[in-house]
Structure 1
Amino acid sequence: MRKSFFHLPLLGLGLLAACGGPSKEEKAEAAATTPADTVATATTAVKLPEPYASESVTKRSEVIGWPTGKTPVVPAGFSISEYAGDFESPRWAYVTPSGDVLIAEANTVPTNPKKKIAAALKLDPSKSLRPTSANRITLLRDTNKDGKPDVRETFLSNLNQPLGMLVLGNYFYVGNTDGVWRYPYQSGQTKITAKGEKILDLPAGGYNNHWTRNLLAGPDGKKIYVSVGSGSNVAEHGIENEKRRANILEINPDGSGEKIYAAGLRNPVGMDWAPSTGKLWTAVNERDELGDDLVPDYLTSVQEGAFYGWPYSYFGQHEDPRRKGERPDLVKKSIVPEVPLGPHTASLGLAIYDGQAFPTKYRGGAFIGQHGSWNRSSFTGYKVVFVPFQNGKPAGPMEDFVTGFVADEGKKQVYGRPVGITEMPDGSLLVADDAAGKVWRVVASS
């Protein structure tokens, strides 16, 4: 089995001493010795502030749900409507080759006593933490092609925090938090009845919402790519806790041949292929607690065997003061991502548009679902953004596409939180709103 050159450095390190939060003296030293910097990317120049230039702030949103008749906002020339509702944390959507829409319903589940009590008493207003998870996949089918599903069935249940879904050959694959499963599947079936098999073990759970495991087939169907988020914010529990994490893994369809395709990606949930180049891209949710404006989440192409910095550096070769001096060799190799998406936006969903229904400027570009901040004094994210591409490369800064999720920032209230973005066969887009329990559909106006 061929391994990337990051396999051994990341997995063979001895246990690092757990690091707590930085002291005032350490913050002052970091601010004094780490100058602000400007990084040139594929789309813009990004000015990065010093670490700890502002305090780390916790500001969690309260999800109040969508009032009757109210929807998110889209640009002129588009319309948005509710595709389906009454879900329990619909985090991700997948369209089967036969056109059925599958919705993965799962959420963060508490593991320690304090969080279990908080979840049971519904003390998390953002609805990220709940006492139980639905752990199911729901099938939606639009038989009369009117843009609204008229068949709804439980496709698969009793899962373990599912997210990624994939039909490949005569199998249906699902990415549970602790591994990849596959089931015999025939086109058009509305329910999985055959017994499945676990083809790949994965480290379960993770920092905050890093339990998600996305799946993406290679362009020729010969490989499957699996995203695995970090187990911590910045390796504060030791590097041994991060084995096979903060990576995109590559496996064969039977689960064999695992290798680390790319490393140092803190939480690379959304993945997609650029249709014009066949290059893999991912949206990455970056680290917390360095201040309001560090670190930008980002969209990046994924180079095989490359290292993207986590936990030792961020946005290229900017060394994280909390991991100072530990791996200068990996810091030196860290790649600068192409597109900054704003700090603490929780950029998770990704769909590179391959349809013809939207105007020309959107074709080949990237739509990103930003779940929204909790570690910033002012809200960021809580919207779907668009990054234009030309010839398979980013060709301009991101712009807002679906907005209106923030109800009243002064009261910390939001209507919902967008996550997964999925292109439909007719060229419309589905937006999974897990906090509000809805899936929205965006179409180009005729």
Structure 2
Amino acid sequence: MNRLTQFLEEKIMPFAGRVGQQRHLQAIRDGIILTIPLVIIGSLFLILAFLPIPGYDGFMASIFGENWSANLQLPVGATFDLLAIFVAVAVAYRLAERYKMDPLSVAAVSLVSFMLVTPYKIAFTPEGMDKAFDVAGIPLALTGSKGMFVAIVVALLSTEIYRAIVKRNFIIKMPDGVPPAVAKSFASLIPGFAVVLTMWILRLILQVTPFENMHNIVGELLGKPLSLLGGSYIGALIAVIIAQMLWVTGIHGQALVWGIMSPVWLALVDQNRLAYTAGEQIPHIVNVQFMDIFYSIGGSGTTLGLALILFFRSRSKQMKQLGRLAVAPAIFNINEPIIFGFPMIMNPVMMIPFILVPIVIVTVSYFAMDLGLVAKTAGVMVPWTTPAPIGGFLATGGKISGAVLQLVNVIISAAIYYPFIMIWDRQKLREEREFSGTDSSSKSA
């Protein structure tokens, strides 16, 4: 155990720290975070459009007309179908901030660049005809989750080109008396032109290749491999193991791993959403909602069960007090009191279940859905702070099986944590008694 602790402290922690501070990964993470509130807003309308209540459809139709469901899904499309556009703007904005450049100008150029590399044609087959025609328009799939990888690549590339021009001082400088907004606009003219020119040339080159456009080449070379790995059982296991190992070294493992995997998992959420709204079979088990709702019950490491044991079963004063402080936040999937109060960091006793429990929970949850015992997540983005079992019920489209799985996961996690907590609790109780005995002796003397 000492060797493991030493390895984590000397090898994993410095490397993870450097990765966590990498500006491009930080920009991607922070840019993706911008989309989360928008997707949750869209999900609220999606839930209302498909509430699993008998007679609900007829009741809504009698009040709002036959098109009530389609009208209620308009905000869903305005959020989910524009994810790539949000990402193209937000990632460039965050990266420009780190480079101390005008973030709004860089974000605007990134948006133009994304639209420039996106094909402007949609295959349309008129009613009663067999032949498809290309009509002007941008496919919503490419501005939604399918285009997220291109949006990230374009945002990073356009920002770096912009920065290279600014760094060489190839900008138009206005006199001091010119308003700052006007000065910034003219300062962005040459860098912006360089970015747009580069993206235009890139588009023309790709048009004469078998890939035809950037979306196809990025999807083939980057999107598919990441989706296959990130959307698999093995990918989910790797993600939680790395996240937990980072946590025990003192690094916010979930923030780092989720920041890297969110583009993949969000795209899979949207694919589930499209299948759910179309009444088709939901394709993916692993996605953001699977990881947030079924692995993070109580916080990273599925620690709600741990918090309940501390609250009801601990005997030492220190652990009882920690249980009182931790149980309420844990209900809302916040476990910093446990992470830092236990502590879990470099704890030779508790790091074993802290890494083991997520492995078991992900395994149970995955195969419960794979075997059809539990409904898959329906593409509804439920806030990660939603308590169990409400989160599981909503994430699976109002299925009781989702709520039951969350409760089962809490029981499993509590059963695994229990013997380790008792060992730690007895150790703390013994320390308290020894301290109390020492204190009494000193008073007698």
Q: TM-score, normalised by structure 1?
A: 0.26
Pick the structure with greater CA Rg.
2
Larger RCO of the pair (alpha carbons < 8 Å, separation 6+) = 1
TM-score (norm. length: structure 2): 0.26
More strand by share: 1
Going by fraction, where is helix more abundant, 1 or 2?
A: 2
